[in-house]
Structure 1
Amino acid sequence: MSNVWKPEAFQGKGKKENYFEGWYFKSVSKDEKTAYAVILGISVSRNKTISHSFVMLVDAAKQKLYYFQYPISEFWGNTKKFEVKIGRNYFSLESIKLDMDDGKDKIKADLKIANIYPWPVALLSPGTMGWYAFVPMMECYHATASFDHSIEGHFDVNGIITDFTGGKGYLEKDWGRSMPSSWIWMQTNHFDEDGVSLFGSIAKIPWLGSFFTGFIFGFYYKKHIYRFATYTGAEIQKLNVSPGRIEIIVKDKKYTLEISADRTEGIDLPAPKLGEMTAKVNESLKSKILVRFYRKGPNGNELLFSGVGRSAGLEFVGNIQELISGFAKPRKRG
């Protein structure tokens, strides 16, 4: 239990089967012409022959995925803080160093990270999951390790060097048995106003033989994180998914977030199911998300912020009706 208050650190020590853990770095160059997602982690299956560690690079502009696979033995994770080594690759809250060559693709990177802003950790609410972090055997856990940070350094992808100095980054992670069967995920920290970031997730959560739809939204604005989540008593007032757009309204007693996200072309990424990287998720890094943030006042809602987030990550997986029905009382699964 000691590292429940350090959710960004490695959580999987001693896991032998049906387990995954993955960290997600999103990096966008200063001119916003290049966006890369670096995803690293481990996949622990009952079938030891397919268990492995991995590093993925997603190129948003070229809609290309690079997947480098390593033996589990080449993975090392620090249980006290975020520090991971996979092969010749190194990751922490301060830096990313990539050195990968599979004979077909050669990728190197040397990035320094500064000015991170994580989801706050408190005694009874250790990070993004709130008190759910204490619940054992949940299907999936989540942590937001940095809403927004600055980048210095470069990527070298097959000899093409891109300078990311002056760019922005984001860092989160997931761990558990499987990703949910239905979920929505979104993230952007590229608004006209500096220091603004949005993260949001809505997902089907298995629960005591039933399920419910849980959600977490964090809006980082003026150096404060406004939290809207199942465990904070907030409510989803609107959830609509169409082929071109996702619309959400989430509110609590004091604040309201209105979100309208454009769905754009994405790329299929491997995702974990019972620890194995056999599922698929389509993710875009080129979406735009309109955000309006209101505070309740004596004469109605007062608009505090309105802006469009660019270079946005966006995912929708599964069934929207399943998510909507899960807001009601949990029902038995047949």
Structure 2
Amino acid sequence: MPLPAAVLTTPHSGYHWPGSLLSPRNRRFFEGWYYRVSLAEEGESFAFMYAIEDPAGGAPTSGGFAQVLGPEDGRTYQLFGGVEGFWATPDRLALGHRQDPPGPAGYLEPEDFEAKVRRGYQATDSLNQGCIEDETGEITRWCYRLRPVHGWGAPGRPVATMGWLSYLPVFEPGWQILMADGLAEGWIEWRGRRYTFTGAPAYGEKNWGGAFPTQWFWVQANAFEGSPGAALVAGGGRRGVLWWEESVAMVGFYWAGRFYRFTAGQEKLTCTVTPWGHWHIEALSERHRIEVSGTVAPEGGIELLAPTANGSRFVCRDTLKGEVRVRLERRWGDRAVLFDGRTPLGGLETGGGPWDGEWRISC
């Protein structure tokens, strides 16, 4: 069935495998996608994570998973053994994986998917839908529409998150913010309850490559109290650059119709992150300063699956109930505080390691 027209075309939206120099068939490869929706009235959020590894098939690591992080940092997931039933398009954001029932892979109208597919998912820039069963037999189902507001870059002009070098086989893995902010409408069935929502803040990103980060952190929020339209993404990690590794970080923030970007190599960034519990990022450009802080109780969060060199493993810890604060200042001319807001629905993550205590990045 043909896909509906794309709503937002962001660089790197399409499937990267096989991509000649970027992802030849004879090496390890993974691609992962992340969708999130925040339900402020419920004080909860949901995140949906999809991944495929070694899609040529036949390797011990060939396969995929669908994973959901839900209220009170609850987790459910389903592994898809093998790559049969997986599909994705190279020219736009559209993918899916279904193995029950087996059959030709491809996009289905949401009504057909709900009627025919017992275990699987499909996702585009305007839809996220699925149904999975965990090892206990518990079933989780979801279907919601998306209306993207911002990709990554100046409003209406999405650009590559990692810059033009992301089109070359230089950085591993690649990372792209697909939707820094959007609106969601639909429903999610989770642990005996059906959540329905309209106009809920939504977010999406992806990563891909043939190498895997050894250590990373991430902060995301777009449900700031009393500040609709504010959207934050910040992250950092040790990534492969040709034959060496480097530590990098970046911050992006949408507010009042403008996009503020702070990236390593162009602005000064300082990050201090503990193995779990505290995140602090400060970035300076010639004209602006932004400070991002995130906190969560030591007992908060849960381990999540992520692709690794040895297949999918529980190598990161996440929460969707972090306390995140952002303060943005203008440093030139009429100096002023442009934004100072917080949310109890921040997404926080640390991964990889082992972490040797507090991690500091200055770039």
TM over 0.5: yes
Match of 2:61 among 50, 55, 73: 50
Aligned equivalent of 2:201: 168
Deviations 1:51-104 (A, max 9, x none): 112211112425223234253121100111101121142100111121334671
Contact (CA 8 Å) 2:35, 2:47: kept in 1 or not? yes
Under a length normalisation based on structure 1, what TM-score does the superposition of the two structures give? 0.86
How far 1:243 moved relative to its partner?
5.6
Contact (CA 8 Å) 1:6, 1:80: kept in 2 or not? no
Question: 1:116 and 2:133 equivalent?
Answer: no
How far 1:25 moved relative to its partner?
0.5
Match of 2:80 among 63, 69, 93: 69
In 1, Cα distance between equivalents of 2:276 and 2:185: 37
In 2, Cα distance between equivalents of 1:62 and 1:316: 15
Query: How many residues are matched?
Result: 320
Aligned equivalent of 1:13: 18
Aligned equivalent of 2:230: 196
Aligned equivalent of 2:127: 95
How far 1:134 moved relative to its partner?
2.7
Deviates more, 1:174-183 or 1:254-263: 174-183
Aligned equivalent of 1:83: 94
Deviations 1:248-267 (A, max 9, x none): 21111111111111134111
Aligned equivalent of 2:329: 294
Could you tell me which amino acid in structure 2 is paired with residue 157 of structure 1? W
Contact (CA 8 Å) 1:141, 1:176: kept in 2 or not? yes
SS at match of 1:61: helix
CA separation of 1:296/1:121 partners in 2, compared to 1, >3 Å: closer, same or farther?
closer
Give the aligned CA root-mean-square deviation in angstroms: 2.7
Match of 1:185 among 214, 218, 226: 218
CA separation of 1:181/1:38 partners in 2, compared to 1, >3 Å: closer, same or farther?
same
Deviates more, 1:31-40 or 1:195-204: 31-40
CA separation of 1:152/1:250 partners in 2, compared to 1, >3 Å: closer, same or farther?
same
SS at match of 1:42: strand
Aligned equivalent of 1:228: 262
**Percent of residue pairs identical:** 22
Aligned equivalent of 2:251: 217
Contact (CA 8 Å) 2:170, 2:242: kept in 1 or not? no
Could you tell me which amino acid in structure 2 is paired with residue 228 of structure 1? F
Could you tell me which amino acid in structure 1 is paired with residue 295 of structure 2? D
In 1, Cα distance between equivalents of 2:202 and 2:276: 28
CA separation of 1:212/1:327 partners in 2, compared to 1, >3 Å: closer, same or farther?
farther
How far 1:138 moved relative to its partner?
2.5
Contact (CA 8 Å) 1:32, 1:311: kept in 2 or not? no
Aligned equivalent of 2:342: 308
Contact (CA 8 Å) 2:282, 2:289: kept in 1 or not? yes
CA separation of 1:91/1:12 partners in 2, compared to 1, >3 Å: closer, same or farther?
same
Could you tell me which amino acid in structure 2 is paired with residue 21 of structure 1? E
Q: How does 1:229-248 map to 2 (within 5 A)?
A: 229-231=263-265, 233-237=266-270, 239=272, 241=274, 244-248=277-281
Under a length normalisation based on structure 2, what TM-score does the superposition of the two structures give? 0.80
Could you tell me which amino acid in structure 2 is paired with residue 294 of structure 1? E
